[in-house]
Structure 1
């Protein structure tokens, strides 16, 4: 980065002064063109420039939160990617998932990871979950110009709040509005179907595996009605990704565990294609 050096070959003052605890503010001062929202507006049809990442679900259970996403990315009516990873660990106790313009969403998630790491190094402590939610809101607002061009990114933030001893879910709109969701939520093109499934399947006493199964069932329902959402592909061994965050931190469920749960869902659908039913009373 040539901006790091002055004419004498020494590091610029911004790199040696303590400065702000926000990496985004630092980058904006040193090289603002690297920020996602500072690019020149695109003229023309943007619909096929980047794949679209779709359906994400999250739900809380006693002691934590589960985040799950399908693997499909689409470009118009074309399947652009069958095994995309849309879930990003942002620090030990939080994760972000993306829906919308995939390229910008991935860049936003990785920049958010660096933002949290930078804060922790500068301040000597982790940002609170509320603080993380607010920082992400500011970052999304910075992408407004790109969103107006059609490159909309809508993330979902989940994390474990040690002050409340519970998992929490935060959703966002395209202009950076932040909203806390309770119990469960879904984003992406298949979200309306996934949320309908979760409404019937969710229980307050779900354990970790039960929450993971409910997430997989809801993604199956989304894939059943939304062509942009990918369901379990048992022949290619491509299954949804599932992250769990508890007071022990973030971890991704092993592929073999997700495969076992997903295959049980598929087997159940062979007997009951519309999935499990909720009791009427």
Structure 2
């Protein structure tokens, strides 16, 4: 059977050793006065194979704190589970709601301490009573940077100029949502590892609002 299977492989492919498969995504988070908007595509790929067309890459860490995941799906799912558990424990012990900064520091610590074993780039964003809406970018390696506009994943390399052009200080909630949707849709058009639908999450003092945009309704226009 092994000989039969190998007969269908080219000489070059039969010499290839098993290795890591390329993965890709597009994630984004932008704060606005009074809240934050998080967005992500939904394609999960393993090399050239699309494993999931409608994955949810925006994970909830606390009541008003969320995390956009990129990199290895297994690694980022484990990370968010750990951080969610520790935040729940912290809130019970202190009797207070966790802040976005606390959640981001905890995520950064776990990422940094395990940087040689993880493939995970995340964006932590949400609303709290101390800072309002805030966003922290935690790329590969465990650095943590507070940002006014955070993008990540393979699709982000295609939209740096677009986000610089669209982003401006003190945008309204509607303007921020429109920017996130437009930026991610353009990344999905260019990046073969990003696709599917766009999921957004709007977090402010009043609560959480989730939405998705089907692939045939993406805002590609100017």
TM-score by structure 2 length?
0.84
The residue number in structure 2 matching 1:90 is 61
Structure 1 residue 85, shift from structure 2 partner: 0.7
Whole-Å separation in 2 of the counterparts to 1:171 and 1:45: 32
The residue number in structure 2 matching 1:172 is 138
Aligned: 1:211 with 2:211: no
Aligned: 1:222 with 2:187: yes
Q: Is the 8 A contact 1:62 1:206 kept in 2?
A: yes
Work out which of the two has the higher radius of gyration on C-alpha atoms and give 1 or 2.
Answer: 1
The residue number in structure 1 matching 2:121 is 154
TM-score by structure 1 length?
0.67
Whole-Å separation in 2 of the counterparts to 1:196 and 1:159: 25
Unpaired segments ≥5 residues, structure 1 = 1-43, 232-238, 270-274, 277-281
Unpaired segments ≥5 residues, structure 2 = 1-16
Name the SS of the counterpart of 2:117 in structure 1. Answer: helix
Q: 1:65 aligns with which of 33, 36, 47?
A: 36
The structure with more strand, counted as a fraction of residues: 2
1 or 2 for the larger relative contact order (CA 8 Å, sep ≥6)?
2
Runs of 4+ in 1 over 4 A off after TM superposition: none
Whole-Å separation in 2 of the counterparts to 1:176 and 1:103: 17
Structure 1 residue 251, shift from structure 2 partner: 3.1
**Aligned residue-pair number:** 206
The alignment yields a C-alpha RMSD, in angstroms, of 2.2
The residue number in structure 1 matching 2:104 is 133
The residue number in structure 1 matching 2:115 is 144
The residue number in structure 2 matching 1:104 is 75
Q: 1:81 aligns with which of 28, 31, 52?
A: 52
Structure 1 residue 127, shift from structure 2 partner: 2.6
Q: After superposition, what is the alpha-carbon deviation per residue over 1:149-198, rounded to whole angstroms, capped at 9, x for unaligned?
A: xxx1111100214223x31110113221111112x110000112233222
Aligned: 1:263 with 2:221: no
Whole-Å separation in 1 of the counterparts to 2:218 and 2:175: 12
